[in-house]
Structure 1
């Protein structure tokens, strides 16, 4: 029998009255990619915190290569065992790649940092692990994919050969995901072991050999991926059949072809997109699809006031839509769920209620004073409306799971009663049930006569749309009415059915 690289058993972790893990366990063999899946709140983050030495278990044991885990205080020993690459970057954006790789361990000569040696050693390290990134590049200028590879290289430089990837594909497009998986396989061949956390189950089948499922803070099963059909995996995660989960979604609804046009854009052009004409009717949900660099995100962000196009016009409800001014767009009736809830969506130091009501403070009081009771009442109503699992509006938003944090961002977008709702990657990094809940809000916005624009790489998000526009190299190249087949839409997105 091979000695497991990582073996955690009987892990129990409580936070006051809350049991975050009642029976956490995982056994990872050397050189494999092992998936850890479960809905938000299943205990994945708690188990990762214990496996990385960020917190101690109340009960249970963690062993690395047959040896007990290091003491919590010995951070260097933990770094030599394990590293986690999170959705949120842990690199320092203003420093170069080389400076990040050797942060706090820069090569020195007579007490002074040797910048030449630093760059040379960084180049050697990157080359050794086939990470094709310029050591002198500012880390803030890197794409998500390259930033993740820099974090992996940094972990390997400490001697760790067990890397935890937490939702690594949440902000990547299809091609970037394929490149990441190719690099993972190459690193596995070099002796690196991965724990892969993802809500996208098809990725588990593409890149992992083994899967462990947690549900309701307990271990449910560990099995070879090849032996576990997708249906069985969904049932293990959800505790119910896929049909039961799907049945909770709203039925598709016919839209009124004569409904008035709410959003009308004409000849919009910018460095990211060219000559875009677009209309969205009252009560209509329109999807925007395309690979990374297609211009779909920038186009949607333009309507939310984040960019100013070089030319073209847009009107919302007959009035000119202001560009380049988020507050003016909000006043004009635009609600937005931005592409990244961490950087653009939430104020981490504030409460659930504060975050949910940020866009409507001017309506909650007079002369610059916000009525506390009115804000609490509105926040409570939003929490109830979106089914946000929280101790109350006063709970810090940083304490919430990914799915509930995303619901807070959605609550804020809906709080202003928008006429146009712009949703960018609205279900990225959330579990099956939270995804269903968030998409149900799309249906209720449609029923309320709101015009909805959904930008997503997730086919499930786009299925709710009345039609989907596909952008390729900044141009709208195809339009698919509801009822499209996956292969048709993917062909358009990948540029296989047109010349772009």
Structure 2
């Protein structure tokens, strides 16, 4: 006999006012598998997860765990014993220890309150039983992203849950940490743990999952074994269009003329986690910077646009040295930037699209530095149209936008001042396929206008528009690849391994 599914949602529907968030969606996850849930932003993934984890109630349909109806919405202990979600943004409390986080609100007690010795012992036993190599006495805020995720998984397992939802778990991990996470997932699967894996990285779906469900426009499109759907077919199912991911490849266009002027020059630059980095970026050129998260590539880019001060070397724009560690000076000189983390560095989430898109050019919108509301709204409306932002209007708060549309607002602001050099750090992180295409199409557009573009990314697709890709490893430049590079050659240099002949 076939074992009962760990979870089954059938005919689930959910509306928020006039908005249909889910329509007649079904999902079946079998014991011991990693089941991927994919779809564009707005496809219904988050709504389905909120229903599967007991945070919201479906308007239609039902959810079962092990063939039995899901607990009542108010039965939090019942839900915790069946399912847990490890979110992209950690829910551990940084100033509490690992042990305190593991048993928060259920600490063992003694005669005079909490028994700290028993708490530490139980935490150590729990971590050891699931092979999580973390000191239970360490404050959780000192852990790496990778270890915080494992602690959250261990906490979920301690409640008895054997079904774990992983929401974009690799978004903040480098390639080596991702591989370690996948090893642990396979080990946990062998121990009877089942995963629902949510990711925009479709190559990860094929690497770690056995089944995949695609949602599109709040509806179920297909469920199949991952070996039955290629990456292109997955993209087609997500978008409803044929052709897969359409990204301009620099190898398909004419090379940059040899005499093009230098726009940005980096001379022997050293700083946090990198040393002796030198390169030249020419007008109309797209330059990629690749490497692991520990390579120093993000720090180089952040030093170029002034977020970090270098310990040595200098950055020149059109031959003039930029002040060190001064973002404002970089902006005024003609550098626009999409930073690494849009939520903490790129947006003021409580403000509107108009506020966010124009905050770097307010002094240009009216006389004496005044920015009339009509001028601000007109500029924002133009940005919405030019960058394809899906929104109710310029005054909508950016916190209400999808990840892809938020990133388009950040890009609109970076280009609002007509910069000569555009620095993009992980420009498509956490966005869906169509948003990725739209964002990378802007790169090709500004390149054609004669601007210089520096792309720093963990995703190979983001580097396709680059005329050249420089590779950093352990803080130093180790390789350069011309347009037309192969994935294998580039990854080999990133990881520092030799390919077999």
TM class by smaller structure: over 0.9
Can you list the C-alpha shifts for 1:385-430, whole angstroms capped at 9, x where unaligned?
Answer: 1111111122222222222222222222222222221111111121
Residue matched to 1:101: 102
Residue matched to 1:295: 296
**Structure 1 residues 180, 387: CA separation in 2 closer, same or farther (over 3 Å shift)?**
same
How much does 1:300 deviate?
A: 0.6
Residue matched to 1:353: 354
Residue matched to 2:83: 82
Residue matched to 1:246: 246
CA contact (8 A) 2:247 2:464 kept: no
How much does 1:247 deviate?
A: 7.6
How much does 1:166 deviate?
A: 1.0
**Structure 1 residues 361, 487: CA separation in 2 closer, same or farther (over 3 Å shift)?**
same
Alpha-carbon distance between aligned partners in 2 of 1:467 and 1:248, rounded to the nearest angstrom = 14
Alpha-carbon distance between aligned partners in 1 of 2:445 and 2:64, rounded to the nearest angstrom = 49
**Structure 1 residues 265, 138: CA separation in 2 closer, same or farther (over 3 Å shift)?**
same
Alpha-carbon distance between aligned partners in 2 of 1:406 and 1:86, rounded to the nearest angstrom = 20
Instruction: Say yes or no: does 1:229 pair with 2:239.
Output: no
CA contact (8 A) 1:323 1:329 kept: no
How much does 1:80 deviate?
A: 1.7
Residue matched to 1:414: 415
Can you list the C-alpha shifts for 1:211-247, whole angstroms capped at 9, x where unaligned?
Answer: 111112110111122233334323222222225x528
CA contact (8 A) 2:262 2:283 kept: yes
Residue matched to 2:373: 372
Residue matched to 1:41: 42
Instruction: Say yes or no: does 1:136 pair with 2:137.
Output: yes
**Structure 1 residues 247, 340: CA separation in 2 closer, same or farther (over 3 Å shift)?**
closer
Alpha-carbon distance between aligned partners in 1 of 2:404 and 2:423, rounded to the nearest angstrom = 18
Alpha-carbon distance between aligned partners in 1 of 2:99 and 2:418, rounded to the nearest angstrom = 47
Give the TM-score taking structure 1 as reference length.
Answer: 0.94
Residue matched to 1:202: 203
Residue matched to 1:17: 18
**Structure 1 residues 127, 260: CA separation in 2 closer, same or farther (over 3 Å shift)?**
same
Alpha-carbon distance between aligned partners in 1 of 2:249 and 2:408, rounded to the nearest angstrom = 16
Paired residues in the alignment total: 497
Alpha-carbon distance between aligned partners in 2 of 1:139 and 1:371, rounded to the nearest angstrom = 47
How much does 1:280 deviate?
A: 0.6
Alpha-carbon distance between aligned partners in 2 of 1:429 and 1:86, rounded to the nearest angstrom = 13
SS where residue 7 of structure 1 aligns? strand
CA contact (8 A) 1:88 1:342 kept: no
Alpha-carbon distance between aligned partners in 2 of 1:379 and 1:398, rounded to the nearest angstrom = 16
**Structure 1 residues 26, 138: CA separation in 2 closer, same or farther (over 3 Å shift)?**
same
How much does 1:354 deviate?
A: 2.1
CA contact (8 A) 2:249 2:464 kept: no
How much does 1:74 deviate?
A: 2.2
SS where residue 487 of structure 1 aligns? helix
1:363-442 pair list within 5 angstroms = 363-365=364-366, 369-442=370-443
Instruction: Say yes or no: does 1:214 pair with 2:215.
Output: yes
CA contact (8 A) 1:171 1:428 kept: no
Alpha-carbon distance between aligned partners in 2 of 1:490 and 1:171, rounded to the nearest angstrom = 18
How much does 1:497 deviate?
A: 5.0
How much does 1:91 deviate?
A: 1.6
Can you list the C-alpha shifts for 1:19-50, whole angstroms capped at 9, x where unaligned?
Answer: 11112211111111101111222111111111
CA contact (8 A) 1:425 1:456 kept: yes
**Structure 1 residues 304, 93: CA separation in 2 closer, same or farther (over 3 Å shift)?**
farther
1:90-129 pair list within 5 angstroms = 90-129=91-130
CA contact (8 A) 2:288 2:454 kept: yes
Alpha-carbon distance between aligned partners in 2 of 1:165 and 1:253, rounded to the nearest angstrom = 43
SS where residue 141 of structure 2 aligns? helix
CA contact (8 A) 2:235 2:433 kept: no
Residue matched to 2:487: 486
Deviates more, 1:305-314 or 1:69-78: 69-78
Alpha-carbon distance between aligned partners in 2 of 1:255 and 1:147, rounded to the nearest angstrom = 45
Alpha-carbon distance between aligned partners in 1 of 2:144 and 2:257, rounded to the nearest angstrom = 41
Residue matched to 1:4: 5
How much does 1:249 deviate?
A: 8.2
Residue matched to 1:286: 287
Alpha-carbon distance between aligned partners in 1 of 2:75 and 2:315, rounded to the nearest angstrom = 58
**Structure 1 residues 36, 297: CA separation in 2 closer, same or farther (over 3 Å shift)?**
same
Residue matched to 1:152: 153
Point out where structure 1 has 5 or more consecutive residues left out of the alignment.
Answer: none
Alpha-carbon distance between aligned partners in 1 of 2:366 and 2:75, rounded to the nearest angstrom = 51
CA contact (8 A) 2:248 2:464 kept: no
CA contact (8 A) 1:21 1:217 kept: yes
**Structure 1 residues 189, 298: CA separation in 2 closer, same or farther (over 3 Å shift)?**
same
Runs of 4+ in structure 1 displaced over 4 angstroms?
A: 247-251, 365-369
Residue matched to 2:449: 448
Cα root mean square deviation, aligned: 2.0
Can you list the C-alpha shifts for 1:233-277, whole angstroms capped at 9, x where unaligned?
Answer: 23222222225x528889635323222111111111124111111
CA contact (8 A) 2:248 2:441 kept: no
Can you list the C-alpha shifts for 1:84-129, whole angstroms capped at 9, x where unaligned?
Answer: 1111121222322222222222233235333333222222221111
**Structure 1 residues 281, 192: CA separation in 2 closer, same or farther (over 3 Å shift)?**
same
